[in-house]
Structure 1
Amino acid sequence: MSQDSAFPIRAAWSPVRRLWWLRPWSPNPLLRPSDRIEAVLRLVVALAVVVAIPIAGASGTAAYTGAAARIRAEDAAKFAVSAVITDKPERTPSHLPEARVRWTHEGRPDTATVRVPNHAAPGDHLTVWLGPDGTPTAAPRRPGAAALTGIAVGAVVLNGTWVVAYLLTQGAVWLLEQRHEVGWSRQWRQFNSPIEEDPQ
């Protein structure tokens, strides 16, 4: 192997070797106590980042299971009826069209004001979902809604843990650097202080 081809390997290994030299239990006498503290902190943060992955997965799975059960329970009590628009649709303050509709369920007629499509007109038929009390309610949610809930919860837990770990690490490193600068300044002042002459 030529020297040129070996250079990338050495360059790739240099960060790993540097981390090994900066390990907290290193016998290197040049390592300051603050360097060892920083190394321990980075190890703890790295462990927390790794542990956060299965925790986020478990949280997302639990959220998905709960959301799926809740959606099934809510949708089980809903039923659809065919309704007819009786009045001209009107725009609500939020610019959504609503209209009065009429339907018959189990021989009993009923009416309500519900959301209608933008192109709706009196006489059009549409499906209205009713709750257990017979009043209009939201249509059943799609099966993927529970999966999206689980993914969102897992992502929030994982990203939140990583962000907190990063901020804690950066804050601790900043404090250690400030401590180093204070120590260097103190030593520099001592080095530059005038040496008292011995009395003759």
Structure 2
Amino acid sequence: MERVFRRDAASVVLIAALIALLAIPLALAAGTAVYTDTATRIRADDASKTAVAATILDDPVIGAGHHRQAQVSWPDGDRTRTGLAAVPNFVGRGARIQVWLNPDGSPTDPPAPPDAAVLQGIGTGLGLAAAVWAIVAIGVAYVRHARERHREPWFGARSPGFSSAL
């Protein structure tokens, strides 16, 4: 019986190792796909943004997401436009700041940093690999626990003092 348990244990470890190794190219492919999609989206989004010099009209307040916001104005051809925009720390009314506008001329978030797509791709790949490896480790631990439990001499036996003759 011990020989069967050893062979089964070796099979479980071999299958687990194969699954863990197959997770690497799967994680690389997923990370690459996320990087490509994110980089394409960021490029398209950033290409439509325009930077303008704006003047802060009133004192900044803490807005959504704990970011400082204020009414700002900027020139747009022969007229002046206003809108609510994020402002940096330590600036106040009358300060000149750079504001990013979307295609319809409303303030928007600044362009994403160049490494944003890379970090999302790496995070996705590492997260997927870690999840697969954790599932494999839990599976191996479960199989080992079940195997050890069946090897115990008392498994399935009644507690001392009890009789099946009752």
Asked if 1:155 corresponds to 2:131, the answer is: no
Q: Could you tell me whether the CA contact under 8 Å between 1:79 and 1:129 is conserved in 2? A: yes
Normalising by the residue count of structure 1, what TM-score does the alignment of the two structures yield? 0.72
Alignment pair present for 1:128 and 2:99: yes
Structure 1 residue 89 displacement after superposition: 2.0
1:60 aligns with 2:64: no
Check whether the contact 1:81–1:105 (CA below 8 A) recurs between aligned residues: no
- Distance in 1 between residues matched to 2:156 and 2:67, nearest whole Å: 72
Q: Is the 2:149–2:155 Cα contact (8 Å) retained in structure 1?
A: no
Residue of structure 1 aligned with 2:10, choices 39, 46, 49: 39
Identify which range, 110-119 or 75-84, moves more after superposition. Answer: 110-119
Equivalent residue for 1:90?
61
- Uncovered stretches (5+) of structure 1, i.e. residues with no partner: 1-29, 190-200
State the 1:96 CA deviation: 3.4
Structure 2 vs 1, CA of residues 31 and 102 (structure 1 numbering), >3 Å: closer, same or farther?
A: same
Bigger fraction of residues in helix: 1
Q: Which residue does the alignment assign to 1:168?
A: 139
The structural deviation recorded for 1:137 is 0.7
Matched, 1:116 2:87: yes
Which residue identity does 2:132 align to in structure 1?
Answer: T
Amino acid at match of 2:137: Y
Partner of 1:104: 75
Separation in 2 of the partners of 1:186 and 1:103?
80
Alignment of 1:172-183 (within 5 A): 172-181=143-152
Contact 2:53 2:74 in 1 (8 A): yes
* RMSD (CA atoms): 2.1
SS at match of 2:54: strand
| Structure 1 residue identity aligned to 2:143 | A
SS of 1:158's equivalent?
helix
Is the 8 Å Cα contact of residues 85 and 122 (structure 1) preserved in structure 2? Answer: yes
Q: CA 1:186/1:173 → structure 2, altered by over 3 Å: closer, same or farther?
A: closer
| Gap regions ≥5 residues in structure 2 | 159-166
